[in-house]
Amino acid sequence: MRRRTALRALLAVPAGAVAGSALLGGPAHAAVATIDPRSNWGTWEGWGTSLAWWAKAFGHDTTMADLFFTRNQVRYRGEDLPGLGLNIVRYNAGACTDRPIGSRPAPGIGGFKQIEGYQLDWYSADPSSASWNWYADSFQRDMMWLARDRGANTFELFSNSPMWWMTRNDDPFGAVDGGENLQDQNYGRHAAYLATIARYAHDHWGVDFTSVQPVNEPDGAWGGSWGHGQEGCHFERGSQARLVNELRTQLDQRDLWWMKVAGMDAWGYDDARATFGSFDAGTRAKVGRINTHGYQGLGGRRDLLYGAAQAAGKGIWNTEYGDGDGSGMTMSDVINCDLRWLHPTGWVYWQVVDGWWGMVGIDGFGQPGMTPGAVATKYFVMAQYSRHIRPGMRILDSGDPNTVAAYDAARRTLVIVATNHGAGQWLDYDLSRFTRPGSDGALVGRWCTNTDGGDRYTYHADTTLHGSRFWSWFDPRTVQTFEVSNVDL
Half-sphere exposure of 42 toward its Cβ, with a 13 Å CA cutoff? Answer: 25
Let me know: does 99 contact 120? Beta carbons within 8 Å: yes
CA atoms of 251 and 214, how far apart (whole Å): 12
Beta bridge partners of 346: 46, 317
Catalytic residue selected from 45, 231, 246, 320: 320
Nearest CA to 440 out of 468, 405, 404 is that of: 468
- Least Cα distance to 400 among 425, 375, 367, 371 occurs for 425
The residues, ordered by sequence, that sit 6+ positions from 189 with a Cβ below 8 Å of its Cβ are 122, 125, 162, 166
Measured between alpha carbons, how far is 137 from 96 in angstroms, rounded to an integer? 10
Reference 55, options 155, 117, 146; nearest CA is 146
Distance CA 303, CA 295 (A): 16
Query: What one-character DSSP code corresponds to residue 66?
Result: H
Taking residue 250's Cβ as centre, other Cβ atoms within 10 Å add up to 24
What value, to the nearest 5°, has the Cα angle with vertex 323 and ends 319 and 325?
145
Residue 166 carries which DSSP code?
A: G
Between the alpha carbon of residue 283 and those of residues 239, 243, 254, 312, the distances in Å are 12, 10, 20, 12
The CA-based diameter of the chain, rounded to the nearest angstrom, is 91
What is the DSSP secondary structure assignment for residue 338, as one 8-state letter? Answer: I
320 is catalytic: yes
Q: Is 217 a catalytic residue?
A: yes
CB 353 within 8 A of CB 64: yes
Count of residues for the chain?
489
Q: Which of 116, 156, 217, 231 is catalytic?
A: 217
CA 347 to CA 266: how far, in whole Å? 14
**Alpha carbon separation from 12 to 6, 7, 44, 115, 426 (Å, rounded):** 10, 9, 38, 55, 12
What is the rounded distance in angstroms from the CA atom of residue 39 to the CA atom of residue 245?
35
CA distance 411 to 426: 28
- Residue among 287, 336, 324, 329 at smallest CA distance from 308: 287
Helix axes 237-253, 269-278, angle to 10 degrees: 70
Rounded CA separation 230/210 (Å): 25
Active-site residue set: 217, 320
